[in-house]
């Protein structure tokens, strides 16, 4: 294909392709931003004496009921799947949807929250490594520097200008290890998702991600044998039910569907930077819900990340 230089006309086909890439990038930004509300739902449910596995199981039961008819409608897409596609689907469902969600939820309940959030910023490193190894992706120009700037922005969002480690043991606690496992699995899921949206429609990938995870979650829940502490009064039960439903549909189903839709035209290595919209939404939620005013350092980190997102979106076709 002939390169387009200064003063040269861009064909309508090239313009259309570039537009799809840019819109796909911003769809991932929106989908990841919806994940920013997820910890809010989980923390509320943890306060109701529900375990991380129980929360994740109920969430997937709700999504199973919703997505099973969708999968049945698109069942023809399951034909001709190769072994690598089955492996990718199992990684997405068992690793990214089941185990990673449990690990992150347990991290929120047993570890330092700032440390757990910071460790999630390692997702791009895992995703970039797997994208280069499995998808043979060529990174955009100056990608390494943009990644460093984006990670610096997430650092400022989490800790400001202060050095966070009063004691290095914060990063060796059980909650931190849970968060690290979640970061690795979610980073890998970005790559596996990119592989699968080239094989089937985003709605089908979304359905399989949640449906295939359910048997594993049932087995883990039974094996753990934790008691179910169900609220007895109608008010609390209603509030918990609404919370579970909202969590499953908003940061769960809707965000993943939008995310996979954007992933159809976006490299996994680029998508992982778009996912950094998550911490920005988390900061806004802390400000609005918990009255935690955004500091100058956090505002600066916010700007850094959005500058990187803008530059990457402008060059996502390279």
Q: How far apart are CA 209 and CA 28, in angstroms?
A: 17
Confidence of residue 166 (pLDDT cuts 50, 70, 90): low
Cα distances from 7 to residues 4, 36, 102, 135, in angstroms, run 8, 42, 53, 34
Confidence of residue 1 (pLDDT cuts 50, 70, 90): very low
Return the axis-axis angle of helices 38-46 and 234-247, rounded to nearest 10°: 150
The answer to whether the beta carbons of residues 60 and 214 sit under 8 Å apart is: yes
The pLDDT of residue 292: 66
The pLDDT of residue 19: 59
Q: Where are the domains of the chain?
A: 22-314
The pLDDT of residue 162: 72
pLDDT digits (tens, 9 = 90+) for 62-92: 999 999 999 999 999 999 899 999 999 999 9
Identify the burial level of 272 via C-beta atoms within 10 angstroms of its C-beta, where 0-12 means exposed, 13-18 middle and 19 or more buried. buried
Confidence of residue 300 (pLDDT cuts 50, 70, 90): confident
Taking the whole predicted model, whether its pTM rises above 0.85 is answered as no
Mean pLDDT (the chain) is: 81
**11, pLDDT greater than 70:** no
pLDDT digits (tens, 9 = 90+) for 169-203: 545 566 778 888 998 999 899 899 988 988 899 99
**205, pLDDT greater than 90:** yes
Tell me how many helices (H) and strands (E) the chain has: 16, 0
| The three-state (H, E, C) secondary structure of 15-75, written as one string | HHHHHHHHHHHHHHHHHHHHHCCHHHHHHHHHCCCCCHHHHHHHHHHHHHHHHHHHHHHCH
The pLDDT of residue 164: 59
The pLDDT of residue 316: 55
**289, pLDDT greater than 70:** yes
The pLDDT of residue 106: 87
The winner for highest mean pLDDT among 8-22, 126-140, 169-183 is: 126-140
The pLDDT of residue 144: 82
Let me know the angle formed at the C-alpha of 177 by 171 and 181, rounded to the nearest 5 degrees.
130
């Amino acid at each position: 294909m002939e390169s387009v230089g200064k003063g040269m006309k861009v064909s309508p086909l090239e313009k259309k392709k570039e537009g799809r890439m840019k819109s796909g990038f911003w769809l991932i930004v929106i989908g990841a931003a919806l994940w920013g509300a997820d910890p809010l739902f989980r923390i509320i449910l943890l306060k109701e004496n529900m375990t991380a596995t129980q929360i994740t199981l109920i969430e997937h039961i709700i999504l199973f009921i919703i997505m099973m008819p969708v999968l049945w409608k698109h069942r023809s897409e399951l034909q001709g799947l190769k072994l690598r596609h089955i492996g990718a689907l199992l990684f997405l469902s068992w690793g990214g949807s089941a185990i990673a969600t449990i690990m992150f939820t347990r991290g929120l309940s047993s570890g330092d929250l700032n440390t757990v959030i910071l460790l999630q910023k390692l997702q791009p490193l895992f995703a970039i490594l797997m994208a280069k190894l499995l998808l043979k992706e060529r990174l955009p120009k100056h990608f390494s520097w943009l990644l460093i700037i984006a990670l610096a922005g997430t650092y400022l969002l989490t800790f400001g200008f202060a050095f966070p480690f009063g004691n290095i043991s914060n990063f060796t606690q059980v909650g931190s290890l849970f968060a690290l496992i979640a970061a690795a699995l979610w980073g890998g899921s970005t790559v596996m998702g990119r592989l699968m949206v080239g094989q089937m429609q985003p709605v089908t990938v979304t359905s399989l991600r949640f449906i295939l995870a359910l048997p594993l979650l049932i087995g883990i829940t039974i094996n753990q044998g934790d008691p179910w502490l169900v609220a007895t009064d109608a008010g609390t039960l209603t509030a918990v039910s609404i919370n579970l439903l909202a969590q499953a549909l908003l940061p769960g189903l809707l965000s993943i569907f939008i995310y996979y839709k954007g992933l159809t035209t976006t490299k996994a290595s680029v998508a992982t930077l778009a996912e950094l919209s998550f911490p920005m939404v988390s900061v806004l939620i802390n400000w609005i819900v918990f009255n935690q005013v955004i500091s100058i350092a956090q505002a600066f980190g916010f700007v850094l990340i959005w500058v990187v997102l803008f530059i990457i979106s402008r060059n996502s076709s390279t």
